[in-house]
Amino acid sequence: MRFILCAIWLLACQQDLTRQPAKADYIYLSVSRGGGITGLVTGCDLQPQGQIRRWKKSASGRVDSLQSLSVSPQSIEQQVKQLKSFSPLQDRGNITYRAELLLGDSTYVWSWTSDQQLTAWYTDTRNLCRATVADSTSRRME
């Protein structure tokens, strides 16, 4: 009997990536692409409140913030929802795409070189990182 109750409890506590999130149940989403011969990586971090920070990272490990802007929180939530529909994967190559999602106290990573659906999602997300809308506060970060 205890075994059955314990098994039910464990199943109930198991985190499900496909569940509908409560408002801001993720901490942040980070997407990037790079590597290769130069080791340069460019990316952006997306916050649930709609804040986006674009950055670049050199082969030495130095990270430079390039821009900060605001978009609608719903547009970021939509990208998070779509990402959660993909199973996390680890695939490395010369030039690698990467998405990292902090969800509650867990971190999920997608790393790939050639996945058509994930690459399309990545392109949409990076376009959001470049977006400037009428109510955004785009500013150059030094």
**pLDDT tens digits, residue range 57-66?**
999 999 999 9
Dist CA 70 CA 11 (whole Å): 38
Average the pLDDT over 95-108 and give the result. 92
3-state DSSP assignment of residue 42: strand
Domains, the chain, in order of start with CATH, read 24-140 (3.30.1560)
The answer on pLDDT for 142 being more than 60 is: no
Strand bridging mode 63-70 / 139-140? antiparallel
Give percent of the chain above pLDDT 70.
74
For residue 106, give both structure tokens.
Answer: 């867990």
Instruction: Tell me the pTM.
Output: 0.72
